[in-house]
Amino acid sequence: MRASVLAAMVVAAGVVAGFARAGCGDGWMGVNLVATPKVKTALRSAYLAAHPGASVGDPAAGRTYYGGYSGTRYAVATFGAHPTIFRTDVRGRWRVRRETHGGVCTNVVPIDLIRVWSLRHWAGRCYVEPSP
């Protein structure tokens, strides 16, 4: 009897330790991804779909940020004076999520992505591209 109680305690302690270990650091994380020419072309197509009649080239060099968070991809790309925020839909197609006046805010892009992109805090919950 004593051996079975001891064995049950050892098993229970192992289960609790396993849950504690599994819970630490297993949250969602922002992952920086490389904005390949294919990604940039898809962002341009999404931008043009949202701006019928617009005429734009590739996104501004050095001003495209691309990453993933919880299975969704986000991007910030500049086709005009200010960055545009993009997000993939449930089918993986890019859509314009928000036009900005320069600020990328945490109510539109997860803070974890803003951090991995090293955007600079501007005001409140908004961030801007780092100075060149």
Confirm whether 79 is domain-assigned: yes
Q: Which helix (H) or strand (E) covers residue 69, if one does? A: strand 65-69
Q: How confident is the model at residue 12 (pLDDT cuts 50, 70, 90)?
A: very low
Cα gap 108→87, rounded to integer Å: 9
Confirm whether 66 is domain-assigned: yes
- Domain of residue 58, residue span: 31-128
pLDDT digits (tens, 9 = 90+) for 87-113: 999 999 999 999 999 999 999 999 999
Report the mean per-residue pLDDT for the chain. 85
Contact 105, 125 (CB under 8 A): yes
* Number of domains within the chain: 1
Confirm whether 98 is domain-assigned: yes
Confidence (pTM): 0.78
Q: Degrees (nearest 5) of the Cα angle 31, 35, 38?
A: 130
Bridge partner residues of 110 (DSSP): none
15: pLDDT strictly greater than 70: no
